[in-house]
Amino acid sequence: MKILFIVLLAAVFAAGGCGKPAAPGTIPFDLHADSLGVEPMPENAKLAANLDKAHDGLESTRWTTFGPMRNGYFVEMTFDGAPEVSELIFDARPSGLDYPREFTVELVNPDGDWENLGFYDESTTDDGITTVTFDNPREAQRLVIRLTSDANFWWSIHEISVR
Ligand SMILES: [Ca+2]
């Protein structure tokens, strides 16, 4: 029984993290969430088991903030190396209005420097799907989506993908 448990645990770990296969044509990443300069994000929102739901291939499952969106909440994708990235898509459709209202996208380039790719608003969201296309493909070690305004809705991501 103990061995079975260990095997199951190993399988769970193997299914998560950067080693997880991404959808065809998308770039795999590790995801984490936190807050900067504001009240802390609820602990539930920072659990890996909940974050995994934002990139498990299932539109029915989601990561969410478990509370209203706050200026300073962020999600961060860490890549294996510094792949070229050109587009970021996140899907909140099943949760209706849980898309970010105003946000920035920042990256860490291969030299380790932070760059702000721009400020975005609701015009990037169409029917619950937010699409950010970069002016030019960029090499990134990390990408960060950071809210720059509050909203009276939770922030939910059913699936997030990077191309
Ligand atoms: Ca999901």
Q: What is the pLDDT of residue 42?
A: 96
Ligand 1 mean position to 37 CA, how many Å? 28
Neighbours of ion ligand 1 (CB under 5 A): 53, 56, 58, 61, 158-159
Is the pLDDT confidence value at 158 over 90?
A: yes
Ligand 1 mean position to 131 CA, how many Å? 17
Delineate the domains of the chain, giving CATH numbers in brackets: 2-162 (2.60.120.260)
Ligand 1 mean position to 144 CA, how many Å? 19
User: Which tens digits make up the pLDDT trace of 75-95?
Assistant: 999 999 999 999 999 999 999
Q: What is the pLDDT of residue 12?
A: 44
> Phi/psi zone of residue 110: left (φ > 0), alpha (ψ -120 to 50 degrees), beta?
alpha
What stretch of H or E contains 127?
Answer: none
SS3 content of the chain, % helix, strand, coil (to 5): 20, 45, 35
**Which pLDDT band, with edges at 50, 70 and 90, does 23 fall under?**
confident
Strand partners, 107: 115, 143
Give me the percent of the chain exceeding a pLDDT of 70: 87
Ligand 1 mean position to 44 CA, how many Å? 16
Structure tokens at 153: 């809705």
Ligand 1 mean position to 75 CA, how many Å? 15
Residues 158 and 95: beta-carbon distance below 8 Å: yes
**Which pLDDT band, with edges at 50, 70 and 90, does 125 fall under?**
very high
Ligand 1 mean position to 5 CA, how many Å? 25
